[in-house]
Amino acid sequence: MYSKTMPTGFPKDFLWGGATAANQVEGAWNVDGKGLTTAEVVQKATDRKVMSMNEVTKESIQEAIDDQSDKRYPKRRGVDFYHHYKEDIKLFAEMGFKVYRLSIAWARIFPKGDETTPNEAGLKFYDDVFAECHKYGIEPLITISHYEMPLILTLTNNGWASRKTIADFTRYTEVLFKRYKGVVKYWLTFNEINASTWGFTGTGAVDSDLNVHDQMQLRYQALHHEFVASAIAVKQCHEIDPEAQIGSMLARMQTYANTPNPVDVRAAQLQDQLNLFFTDVQVRGEYPEYMNRYFVENGIELEMEPGDEQLLAEGKVDYLSFSYYMTTITSATDDVEQASGNLSMGGKNPYLKSSAWGWQIDPVGLRITLNEFWDRYRVPLFVVENGLGAEDKISDDGKIHDDYRIDYLRQHIEQMKEAVKDGVDLMGYTTWGCIDVISAGTSEMSKRYGFIYVDQDDEGNGSLKRMKKDSFDWYKKVIASNGEDLD
């Protein structure tokens, strides 16, 4: 007789929590020996529908190096987590977090990127942060490189465009695995590995002076170096701390065919492959065949060294994590209305509403993605980013009533639960920007995701005081009930 039963809800050890990134929260950009990072030369977008994070030129970098203030560079300020981490982690603990996803700023550990000895003050900061998490029984989940690297590596190597950067990265990762052995159980190599095909934020390479073909050539080559570096890090992690688990991280962009016309379905399939390529390499350990055709047809020639393919095969990740904010539609023709927002998001879906930034909100799509990932990869999954960016207002009663955020999160958690009932192996859920952070895409402060409000405006004015929003108490209830009480 068939004896397996259907799960009825989230597993008992489900990892509930929240996520941030060093360059968006820490501030303290020039203290305790830290070097300047690629994130800290990015200015606030002049139009919030444009991603300023990839609009970097050689001239704008020089201008940023000459400017020793944080006025025009919001990621130098963050929300001063560097000096508030005890207060912030205490608030996370009050919500009942089991896990807190954060990243390490590479330039705190290796300020110039190519030193042989790490900066002890940088390591000490993260010792203290992890100890603070453990004090409350919170497991840190660490992204090793979240949208930043030491700026000097851009100036000397053009970031990941050069193979030399692999050695700098593996020196950094070895230091981390040795120092935090037994302290950090969950690691991720690169945040949103697919961001490398979008430009500077992913590659640390300036390519604004190149034509589109040459840009893509450079980005796929840089990505190959990141794949190799990631595979080496996976191997190092397994050797140094066999108890730890290390995963990959993808910005998932589920896409649907615009119509049932097979040509639209095929166009959507290709679009989806171009999103799954990254995890195909990192989870399965090899380049998928469909990319051979894509590279030939787009004139992209990758340089690989002997041994690279073996490294990729040996550096398969233990679990797959991803960010999930939106879905798109794909058409074989260009007669479809485009979704307008600050990401290149494909066609507009008439069945979905969008955030103020044009991101199409699709909770059911999360269930679809979870099922597809589980079918395709058979490794545990982790939703490490999800959330609604919105402009929160302080009401006359002095509170922040963010019921729109509660609605968004509730609907996504409901669909995650459905996926768990479908049989998906889901490890955990960390909402994005559990405390308000500087936006990655536009460097605004006013695009907020948090359960905790931070008093700071786009220009950096404000007391930095932390305040609980309505969603704070709601999420506390969700965690306490292991996802059963969503009201």
Mind telling me the catalytic residues? 192, 385
Q: Which is nearer to ligand BG6, 157 or 194 (CB)?
A: 194
The answer to whether 323 contacts ligand BG6 (rule: CB under 6 A) is: yes
In angstroms, give the least distance from the CB of 458 to ligand BG6.
13
* The binder of ligand BG6 chosen from 40, 88, 139, 192 (CB under 6 A): 192
* The binder of ligand BG6 chosen from 251, 329, 366, 406 (CB under 6 A): 251
Q: Which residues of 28-63 are buried (b: 16+ CB within 10 A; e: fewer)?
A: bbeeeebbbbbbbbbbbbeebeebbbbbbeeebbee
The answer to whether 432 contacts ligand BG6 (rule: CB under 6 A) is: yes
In angstroms, give the least distance from the CB of 144 to ligand BG6.
14
Q: Which is nearer to ligand BG6, 119 or 323 (CB)?
A: 323
Q: Which is nearer to ligand BG6, 118 or 428 (CB)?
A: 428
In angstroms, give the least distance from the CB of 324 to ligand BG6.
10
From the list 69-77, 202-210, 233-241, 432-440, the region that binds ligand BG6 by CB under 6 A is 432-440
Residue nearest to ligand BG6 (CB): 441
In angstroms, give the least distance from the CB of 325 to ligand BG6.
7
- Helices 262-284, 363-377: axis angle to 10 degrees equals 60
* The binder of ligand BG6 chosen from 441, 450, 460, 483 (CB under 6 A): 441
DSSP string, 334-365: S-SPBPPSSS---B--TT-EE-TT-PEE-HHH
Q: Which SS3 state, helix, strand or coil, does residue 3 take? A: coil
Phi, psi at 387, each rounded to 5°: 165, 170
Asked if residues 150 and 112 have their Cβ atoms less than 8 Å apart, the reply is yes
Q: Which of 338, 478, 343, 337 is nearest to 410 (CA)?
A: 478
Q: Which is nearer to ligand BG6, 199 or 441 (CB)?
A: 441
The answer to whether 447 contacts ligand BG6 (rule: CB under 6 A) is: yes
The radius of gyration of the chain's CA atoms, rounded to the nearest angstrom, is 21
Task: Spell out the alpha helix ranges (H) of 69-183.
Answer: 74-77, 81-95, 106-109, 120-135, 151-157, 164-179
With a CB cutoff of 8 Å and minimum separation 6, the contacts of 152 are 35, 36, 111, 112, 113, 114
With a CB cutoff of 8 Å and minimum separation 6, the contacts of 469 are 392, 399, 400, 401, 402, 405, 450, 451, 452, 453
Q: Which of 421, 429, 450, 424 is nearest to 438 (CA)?
A: 450
Phi, psi at 266, each rounded to 5°: -65, -40
The footprint of ligand BG6 on residues 104-123 (CB under 6 A) is: none
From the list 8-16, 178-186, 290-298, 433-441, the region that binds ligand BG6 by CB under 6 A is 433-441
In angstroms, give the least distance from the CB of 359 to ligand BG6.
8
Q: Which of 459, 437, 476, 469 is nearest to 84 (CA)?
A: 437
The two tokens of residue 320 are: 């797959």
Q: Which is nearer to ligand BG6, 381 or 440 (CB)?
A: 440
x/- map, 380-419, ligand BG6, by CB under 6 A: -----x---x------------------------------
Amino acid symbol at 363: P
In angstroms, give the least distance from the CB of 277 to ligand BG6.
18
In angstroms, give the least distance from the CB of 24 to ligand BG6.
6
How many residues bind ligand BG6 (CB under 6 A)? The answer is 15
Q: Which residues contribute to the site for ligand BG6 (CB under 6 A)? A: 21, 24, 147, 191-192, 251, 323, 385, 389, 432, 439-442, 447
